[in-house]
Structure 1
Amino acid sequence: MASRTLRTLPRRAAQRGVRGFRRGAVRPLQVIVAGFAAGVGVGTLLLMLPASRSGPGGASALDALFTATSALCVTGLTIVDTPTYWSPFGQVVILLLVQVGGFGVMTLASLLGLLISRRLRLGSRVLAARETRSGALGDVRAVLRGVAVVSLTVEAVTAAILTLRFAIGYDNSWSHSLWLGVFHAVSAFNNAGFALFSDNLISFATDPWICLPIALAVILGGIGFPVILELVKQHRRPSRWSIHTRLTLLMTAVLIVGGTVFVTVAEWSNPGTLGALDPAGRTLAGFFQAVMPRTAGFNSVNPGEMNTGTLLGVDMLMFIGGGSAGTAGGIKVGTFAVLLLVIVAELRGDPDAELFDRRLSPATIRQALSVALLSVAAVVASTLVIAMTSPFSLDQILYENVSAFATVGLTTGITADLEPWQQLVLVVLMFAGRLGPVTFASALVLRQRQRLYRRPEGRPLIG
């Protein structure tokens, strides 16, 4: 009876379950934030060990903290060269942090608990449901299994393709090729952007057997687990896809195609980026650079050589990000689409913003506006603080800050040259960008309340 009740809990009952901890107890969102903070702390300590560094002695506290935060928040920004600075042990630590960050700390903890005890307590279900944005609490176990299966399957297939290419196409040993394949597959699906080459993937800019599998893994990780799981279950019946799935797929396709055209055209004749490649290579690199800003930090050309206008366009792609409840960052494509629909409705004079024959609720619109404006405030404030004390240009600083907040990991090359306190600003941005939009949006949902009265309407002048 209790099990059946959990499976059929409606949304309001689920919200009461989230609040159902004892009065004064720690809220689920606070536990998630604390879990990520603890993960950063553990990762920092592990990377400070002498065994984690390839050179003498251990890494400095700042180097370890920055790298651990970047890995757990699946960003990819670095202030040291990953393949030369970190030892194989240190690289394994980074890989594990990326995997944990992609799963989600609470999701992974709940999954491990499910594997060990074969059941989850209500508190664990609440935390996992909030982090994965699954529906009723009774569905959490199925969602956790689905997340694990999807993640490991995509990573395994991508790793196999990359391993074969690194071994056969580049004459690496099979053991080294396997390590390269696994590392980049995990980094790609979790949208981390860490690479084991000092130039990231610039050496493979025209190699489709390297770029396309990585790009596909990045796209799958970026659209979000709810979309992937629904596509697996309903792949033959698109008419039954949820609004979230249809919106995410539509916006992802539009942004990838539009981004590819924009980057390719803008950089076609730039000798520092696409201009040095043949036409087929330019097209592949343009597509690759359109996919990566929305989700991951791999780069097959040097962003520092891009035109100023291209950097601004990439800033916009990074800020929008990918799908909800996935490994991508940014404000998410759903939030961006809601804002666009509100503008369209206002320009047309329609009383309601509509999506797929459905009316968007005022609560959804308010949440989208709040998430977007607070995200803009975070990026603007951090950019202003660094720009006032930095010799770098505004477009470089803005690019760096948007990349950190959107957990992308692309850089114009100035990260390592920033002052230590400025690097700490990026640490805070990465942490806030990984947890801020999702936790804030969830908090807005949980804080909804009914009022028994409404005040008279007021209309201040707009514009």
Structure 2
Amino acid sequence: MLRKWGRSIVASPPRILVLGFAAIILSGAGLLMLPFSHVQEETPRFIDTLFTATSATCVTGLVVVDTGTYWTTAGQLIIIAMIQIGGLGFMTMATLFALMLKRRISLRERLVLQEAFNQTSIEGIIRLVRKVVVYALSIELAGAILFSIRFMFDMPAGKAIYKGVFHAVSFFNNAGFDTMGNYRSLTDYVGDPLVNIVTMLLIILGGLGFVVLSDLVEIRKPGRKLSLHSKVVLSMSGFLILFGAVIIFIFEYTNTNTFASLPFGEKVLAAFTQSVSPRTAGVNSVDLAGLRQSTQFFIVILMFIGASPGSTGGGIKTTTFTALIGAMIAMIRGKEDVVLFRYRLAQERVYKALTITLFAFGLVMIASMILSTTEDHRFLMILFEVTSAFGTVGLSIGLTAKLTLAGKIIIILMMFIGRLGPLTLSYALGPRKGRVLYRHAEGKIIIG
């Protein structure tokens, strides 16, 4: 009986993903408590190491202690290892090692990979894993080289290379962790074109999703065309980046706390950086606490939408948002079908987009209400923090370091749910769905 119950707990791919991420987080939290991981002599509190490990594994970037000054080099290497595993997915890393050892990948493992990458079938899933690793390491290497060259003008070569590698891995995986010290992020490089452009490219490439990257690489082959998924991701991502930059530029142009003192070119660069970053990266080149409230709320919206499926980012995803916009337009025009790029979306996809959005919105609202009780701060600051955690963004306007114990636990849960996805978690914890043998009679209610 117990053996059967134990098998049922870990039988489904969603449950394996939940347990796998939880194991990595607990292991990382334990390693960060060891003396070689932290600068101070006293052992850090477990809640703080758990918060850091969750933030790293869930590629978020929210921190309760400063990464650059609190953790030793060994501690920072543990953090960056968790970021890499969390960004690519622990099943991707496990599959990579299995392939290196020439071990056969079982059907169950393929099903878990299918769940991890949000694929509709297991066909070609191992080829996708190989591509994921090659693309990720290649992009991170290129980013590390460019960062290292730039940082060598400001610091010794060894330190520059270390920071270059750390930030390339962190930014590509949309984690937002930095080692600049004193929570500065990239504020010292607000007007630096190379640092900002490389950062934005790493974030964008990490947030598009590996399926889209594969499509872009193979588009040069004869007869290959972009899939509908890639077209939707690229068009919506481009729109959100451009639209976000324009809105932030307008709202902050005369703000003396952020853009007012910057030359015009640096204003444009900062606006684009802050438009790209809320797509789950957690990097800031200006003081976010100094932003106008209208800008902060707009960033909350961008964080809620997030990156794209199968990527290193979180949020409800660009495809979900596109499906909802398409459904709204179809309803306004009196059409039955949601049509994107001359393709009709199945009704099931629209229902799933609606379910994910309402589920996510409910989680963010409930967590915000709870934190409004446990934390004595402005509601917008609380909403910003909760949305940042759910979207695995990592941007903060100053609340994270001031969180109470209850507040830290809530944010930890939001980061965990945001990384796995609310539907994956609900499937993992909920009962298995059986076959429906009947349908209820159709009824009508008045809508609107």
Give the alignment's TM-score, normalised by structure 1. Answer: 0.91
Q: Which moved more, 1:25-34 or 1:204-213?
A: 25-34
The superposition leaves residues 134-181 of structure 1 with CA deviations (integer Å, 9 ceiling, x where unpaired) of 4543412211110000000000000000000000x32x1111110000
- Asked whether 1:181 is paired with 2:164, we answer yes
Query: Which of 293, 312, 315 in structure 1 is aligned with 2:297?
Result: 312
CA drift at 1:105:
1.2
CA drift at 1:360:
1.5
Equivalent residue for 1:53? 38
Change (3 A) 1:357 1:448: farther
Q: Secondary structure at the match of 1:240?
A: coil
Give the RMSD, CA atoms, in angstroms. 2.1
Equivalent residue for 1:339? 324
Query: Which of 181, 196, 201 in structure 1 is aligned with 2:179?
Result: 196
- Asked whether 1:104 is paired with 2:100, we answer no
How is 1:222-371 mapped onto 2 (pairs within 5 angstroms)? 222-235=207-220, 240-371=225-356
Code of the residue aligned with 2:199 in structure 1: it is I
Code of the residue aligned with 2:84 in structure 1: it is Q
Change (3 A) 1:64 1:279: same
Alignment check: 8 A CA contact 2:56 2:80 kept: yes
Equivalent residue for 2:28? 43
- 1:42, 1:211 → 2: CA distance? 34
- Asked whether 1:123 is paired with 2:108, we answer yes
Code of the residue aligned with 1:323 in structure 2: it is S
Equivalent residue for 1:377? 362
Alignment check: 8 A CA contact 1:130 1:442 kept: no
Percent identical among aligned pairs is 38
Alignment check: 8 A CA contact 1:371 1:440 kept: no
- 2:35, 2:325 → 1: CA distance? 51
Q: Secondary structure at the match of 1:409?
A: coil
Change (3 A) 1:239 1:266: farther
Query: Which of 383, 386, 402 in structure 2 is aligned with 1:398?
Result: 383
CA drift at 1:238:
9.1
- Asked whether 1:215 is paired with 2:200, we answer yes
Equivalent residue for 1:164? 149
- 1:336, 1:447 → 2: CA distance? 28
Alignment check: 8 A CA contact 1:324 1:334 kept: yes
Alignment check: 8 A CA contact 2:9 2:15 kept: no
Code of the residue aligned with 1:101 in structure 2: it is G
Change (3 A) 1:87 1:367: same
Equivalent residue for 2:3? none
The superposition leaves residues 205-261 of structure 1 with CA deviations (integer Å, 9 ceiling, x where unpaired) of 100111110110100000111110111112467972111110000000000000000
Alignment check: 8 A CA contact 2:218 2:224 kept: no
Code of the residue aligned with 2:163 in structure 1: it is L
The superposition leaves residues 252-307 of structure 1 with CA deviations (integer Å, 9 ceiling, x where unpaired) of 00000000001111111111111121111111000000000012001001111111
Code of the residue aligned with 1:298 in structure 2: it is V
- 2:414, 2:78 → 1: CA distance? 22
Instruction: Return 5+ residue gaps in structure 2 as ranges.
Output: 1-6
- 2:342, 2:395 → 1: CA distance? 38
- 1:194, 1:369 → 2: CA distance? 32
Change (3 A) 1:236 1:305: farther
Q: Secondary structure at the match of 2:132?
A: helix
Equivalent residue for 1:15? none
Alignment size in residue pairs? 440
Q: Secondary structure at the match of 2:41?
A: coil
Equivalent residue for 1:415? 400
Q: Secondary structure at the match of 1:274?
A: coil
Q: Secondary structure at the match of 1:158?
A: helix
Change (3 A) 1:414 1:451: closer
- 1:347, 1:239 → 2: CA distance? 35
The superposition leaves residues 66-115 of structure 1 with CA deviations (integer Å, 9 ceiling, x where unpaired) of 00000000000001011110011000000000000001111211121111
Code of the residue aligned with 2:304 in structure 1: it is F
Equivalent residue for 1:3? none
Alignment check: 8 A CA contact 2:368 2:382 kept: yes
Q: Which moved more, 1:354-363 or 1:424-433?
A: 354-363
Alignment check: 8 A CA contact 2:209 2:312 kept: yes
CA drift at 1:441:
8.9
The superposition leaves residues 393-450 of structure 1 with CA deviations (integer Å, 9 ceiling, x where unpaired) of 1111100000000000000011111211111110000000101246259889x97876
- 1:407, 1:395 → 2: CA distance? 18
The superposition leaves residues 320-372 of structure 1 with CA deviations (integer Å, 9 ceiling, x where unpaired) of 00110100110000000001111111111111211121222111111111110
Instruction: Return 5+ residue gaps in structure 1 as ranges.
Output: 1-21
Q: Which moved more, 1:111-120 or 1:390-399?
A: 111-120
- 1:28, 1:263 → 2: CA distance? 40
CA drift at 1:453:
4.4
Change (3 A) 1:378 1:23: closer
